[in-house]
Structure 1
Amino acid sequence: MHDKGIVHRDLKPENLLYYSNDPDSKIMISDFGLSKIEDSGTMATACGTPGYVAPEVLAQQPYGKEVDCWSIGVIAYILLCGYPPFYDENDAALFQQILKAEFEFDSPYWDDISESAKEFIRNLMCKDPKKRFTCKQAISFPWISGNTALDKDIHASVSAQMQKNFIKSKWKRAYNATAVIRQMRKLAMHKDDQNNAHVPK
């Protein structure tokens, strides 16, 4: 997809689908409603789903396909522990967490996860888009291409955490680009109000 210059801009678990009911079915990426061709102009629109959006999108900076790689890191994090790296009931607080790009591998949920898997996530959820893994780098990383994953069955613990976290109202709520843009404008206006309040009259 990236080789063809397509940036999805809304990667999340809900947009990953099985092609068929076969046990070894291939996985498809769906919902290209927010996707854009990279060469069609500068991308700076705040769009996507809160929780999966890259810091540069929230900072309203021009961005590229690196935003998809960040989202892949978030998805990998969730699939390995069952809860998101960033979470808050308040969108503004959630966005501040993402902008800092600070997350933890909490015990005991990450105790059985290999250091290679953690390194994979760190490289995808890197705040600086220029230092972030590309898809090609991610695919060739030993945790994906080699045999550095631990031989542990984490299904039960991850499943329990997912059920606990996905019933929260914020997880069930569907977001769209308009909602994110509206929220970002509110935050920007609030920031301007705060800055103006400190300007001497």
Structure 2
Amino acid sequence: MCDTLNNDYHLCEELGRGRFGVVHRCYSPVSSSSFACKSIAKRDLSSDPTDRRCLDVEPKILRLLSACPNVLRLHDVYDNDDYLHLVTDLCDGGDLYDRLSSSPRFSERDTAAVASQLMSAVAFCHRAGVAHRDIKPDNILFDSRGALKLADFGSAEVFGAAAEEEMSGVVGTPYYVAPEVLMGGYYDEKVDVWSAGVILYMMLAGVPPFYGDGPVETFEAVLRERLRFPTKLFQSVSPEAKDLLRKMICKDVHRRFSAEQVLRHPWMVSGGERED
């Protein structure tokens, strides 16, 4: 571990492991506060430039998004020959994956409460010229007060005037990836709206809209199948919620809503309240 990190923080128990690092709880004696420390061992990264770019991309993007209350806040960065350590907010309220596992179907009001915070984070990212590109329940965290924090920007990309080129490359997670990502070529930030729409669908229905027996079959379903609302799963879901899902999980990118349009949709504005 980096000596400077250990001078400023006491590392505590492990909280989790991901593709690019290990997360521990850490404690600051100066502020008497607890944080999370994501440690990436540089020796464990492959020589693939896509893997190694996370060392540069994530801290830069988290700094860029630091003003957003629904994005995981970066507090400190420690970098040496062996490790990159990112000290961030501690989100000890679990993640959305855990909540979906314990309660597969949410009420419309509870879904809208999550969706409002998630789409506020996505809209902020897009206004800053950042596409997350891997929005999924595992990357949606909650702090001790229940506030949502969008995390894990290792696959994020800058777009717009500040970008050197248009976004491309297959990144993301099978259930949540947008079809245009799988088709190759260039795409835009609306890939995040598709992913968020899939998450809203799962919260309301308890299952993803497109799935298969493995990643390949799931990718094929994303590309081939139409969005459906099975009566057994959606009989109690309002027309307004289904209308929003159609506009988010829309294969025609030009017709798909932007993050700002999602926030202005009547179902979102009403907080998921049904119209009588």
Same fold (TM over 0.5): yes
Q: How do 1:161-180 and structure 2 match up within 5 A?
A: none
User: Can you list the C-alpha shifts for 1:135-168, whole angstroms capped at 9, x where unaligned?
Assistant: 01000000000266339xxxxxxxxxxxxxxxxx
How far apart in 1 are the matches of 2:271 and 2:204?
Answer: 16
Question: Alpha-carbon deviation of 1:46?
Answer: 0.5
Partner of 1:118: helix, strand, or coil? helix
Contact 1:101–1:127 at 8 Å: present in 2 too? no
Task: From 117, 121, 127, give the equivalent of 2:241.
Answer: 117
Q: For 1:63-82, list aligned pairs within 5 A.
A: 63-82=187-206
Structure 1 stretch displaced more, 114-123 or 139-148: 139-148
Aligned to 1:11: 135
What is the match of residue 144 of structure 2? 21
* Corresponding position of 2:159: 38
* Cα distance change of structure 1 residues 2 and 147 upon mapping to structure 2, 3 Å threshold: closer
User: Within 5 Å, which residues of 2 pair with 1:172-191?
Assistant: none
Give the aligned residue type for 2:149. M
- Per-residue deviation, 1:99: 1.1
In the alignment, which of 181, 196, 199 is matched to residue 57 of structure 1? 181
Segments of structure 2 that go 5 or more residues without pairing to the other structure are 1-124
In the alignment, is the contact (CA less than 8 A) between 2:244 and 2:267 conserved in 1?
Answer: yes
Cα RMSD, aligned residues only: 1.5
Query: Where is the strand percentage greater, Structure 1 or Structure 2?
Result: 2
- Higher RCO (CA < 8 A, seq sep 6+): 1
Cα distance in structure 1, aligned partners of 2:138 and 2:159? 23
Q: TM-score, normalised by structure 2?
A: 0.51
Report the secondary structure of 1:2's partner residue: helix
Deviations 1:24-63 (A, max 9, x none): x321100000001013221110011011000100001200
Alignment length (residue pairs): 148
Q: Is contact 2:227–2:246 with CA below 8 Å preserved after alignment?
A: no
Distance 1:135 1:101, change over 3 A: farther
- Higher helix proportion, which one? 1
Q: CA deviation at 1:97?
A: 1.4
The percentage of counterpart residues that share the same residue type is 36
> Residues 96 and 73 from structure 1, CA distance in 2 versus in 1: closer, same or farther, beyond 3 angstroms?
same
Please report the TM-score for the alignment, with normalisation by the length of structure 1: 0.70
Instruction: Check whether the contact 1:101–1:125 (CA below 8 A) recurs between aligned residues.
Output: no
Q: Distance in 2 between matches of 1:98 and 1:9?
A: 16
